[in-house]
Amino acid sequence: RKEVEQDPGPFNVPEGATVAFNCTYSNSASQSFFWYRQDCRKEPKLLMSVYSSGNEDGRFTAQLNRASQYISLLIRDSKLSDSATYLCVVNRGNYGQNFVFGPGTRLSVLP
Amino acid sequence: DTGVSQDPRHKITKRGQNVTFRCDPISEHNRLYWYRQTLGQGPEFLTYFQNEAQLEKSRLLSDRFSAERPKGSFSTLEIQRTEQGDSAMYLCASSLLGLDEQYFGPGTRLTVT
């Protein structure tokens, strides 16, 4: 079993749809959590950090459940420009800097 | 452009050859990371530097791989005796001490023939 697992995808949704991505992690000592976005043939870019209390940034909402070791990302009113691969990332480093990326879930928003 | 830069962007080499990649982080960033990414997978952590000290090293990093950051600025990743399984995108990222957000470079795509 991989340390960070994500929905296999791809997700094909129409513009304006709401889409949710799920992620689970196996290391209970993991310290911090993130969602990154990666466009085709580009480098990953931070979308948002994920806090225990949950956090929202515009159309994007992230949730963390430490007890279930589960992270989610919700995208509301999806845009064509949201088409990308979404990577769930967990930091479990001994010195606080050992990041484990999930395999990613690809999203295609269709007109 | 003041982002993370990597050189070369593409490298084709024959099996058994040595290759070296360079990463220049954002100038004030004291943390530097190397990752490897293959098609359809997320980046795999290889190693992490804080200034010139290599503080984390993945078990994935076999003895054919070595990384340095001699002056705490740019970093190099060397792969000795390359194998076809080394073909991948090698990504470098940097961040500021105390902040987790990593800024990635465009990567070096390695093809071992």
Angstroms from A32 CA to nearest CA on chain B: 8
- Please identify which residue in the block is written with the tokens 């792969």: B79
Distance CA A90, CA A67 (A): 15
* Amino acid B99: pLDDT: 81
* Residues B100, A104: C-beta atoms closer than 8 Å: no
Residues of chain A in Cβ contact (below 8 Å) with chain B: 4, 32, 34, 42-46, 49, 87, 89, 91, 93-95, 97-104
Query: Which stretches does DSSP call E strand in B19-97?
Result: 19-24, 31-37, 44-50, 53-57, 65-68, 75-79, 88-95
Indicate yes or no: CB of A100 within 8 angstroms of CB of B45.
Answer: yes
Q: Please tell me whether residue B27 adopts helix, strand or coil conformation.
A: coil
Residues of B in contact with A102 (CB under 8 A): 42
End-to-end CA distance of chain B: 33
Q: Please state, in angstroms and as integers, the Cα–Cα distance from residue B20 to each residue in A48, A111, B29, B47, B108, following that order.
A: 33, 44, 22, 15, 10
Region B11-23: what's the mean pLDDT? 98
Predicted local distance difference test score (pLDDT) of residue A1: 78
Strand partners, B91: B35
**Which pLDDT band holds residue B19 (cuts at 50, 70, 90)?**
very high
Query: What pLDDT is recorded for position B91?
Result: 98
Nearest beta carbon to residue B100 from set A4, A49, A95: A49
Q: Is the pLDDT of residue B45 over 60?
A: yes
For A26-59, write each residue's pLDDT tens digit: 988 888 899 999 999 899 999 999 988 889 999 9
- Examine the pLDDT at A111 and tell me if it is beyond 90: yes
